[in-house]
Amino acid sequence: MAFSRIKFTKIKKYSVLSFKILCCAFMVLCLFCGLVPLFLFGHFNPGNISLIIYAVLLFAVLFPKNVKTKNIKIKKILFVLKKTVAVFLAVCFLTGAFVSVFMIEHAFFNEPSEGTESAGTVVVLGCKIINKRPSLTLKGRLDAAYEYLDKNKDTVAIVSGGQGWDEETSEASVMKKYLVDKGIEEHRIIMEEKAVNTDENIKFSGEIIKENNLPETMYIVTDTFHSYRGYLFAEKNGYEAKNISSDIYWPLFGEYWVRDILGILHMKLTPNWELDIQNS
């Protein structure tokens, strides 16, 4: 009996230790994904800020300092506070994991089937441009679009993106030039130059599709982390959609993935869920 109790105690001890090690590893990962975009790229958005806050709170739960006080009430308050923060972090993690399942599904398992190129219209979602050149994120989307258009010669593409307050020209014009320079025929690319967010990308591209009698199924070209949100906006506007995901840029992947989780939750939990995220 004593041996069984000792064995159970050891298993419990190692289980707790293993859990703490996993939590520490996750804390470091969150901190890394939050700080790298902040210091190397100057990014300050809900994605990386949420990661930094999460890491700090997780640290506070894992490594509490012993408060030297004889006041029992203060000790109880601190104990309850720690448990509340722990529950909050657990709920955040589980919610993020749940949403991530749908994001992964639409990023990697909702692509157009082979031989269906004539059944859809490629819609490339815009992103920030710098000095009339595509940003790293936009370049990834355009390269993915080029790869698909080059293989499917009959497919028409709509490049969607207006001109931001800090941009010299419209994103769509830069996107079209990039694809034409790579060898895609100019007549296969239609510009949509009014949209300033993802909802408008889809809405205005849909209007172009109807005006030009193009296939109404959208093959949305965007980043892996953004694919599900693009799909939701297409669904909201009454379009069937498939996703063509661009390559992952790892240094920024964590912050953008979390930012889109927050965006999706906003869409689902807000009655009027059209987002106003410039150049998203």
What pLDDT score was predicted for residue 43?
85
- DSSP for 215-242 reads -SEEEEEE-GGGHHHHHHHHHHTT--EE
Residue 97: other Cβ atoms inside 10 A? 10
Task: Tell me which residue of 161, 141, 155 sits closest to 205, measured CA to CA.
Answer: 161
More confident residue, 77 or 190: 190
pLDDT digits (tens, 9 = 90+) for 217-247: 999 999 999 999 999 999 989 999 999 999 8
Residue-averaged pLDDT of the chain: 88
Where is average pLDDT lowest: 70-79, 87-96, 245-254, 271-280?
Answer: 271-280
What pLDDT score was predicted for residue 115?
67
Reported as type and span, the H/E element at residue 22 is: helix 2-41
Q: Is the pLDDT of residue 34 over 50?
A: yes
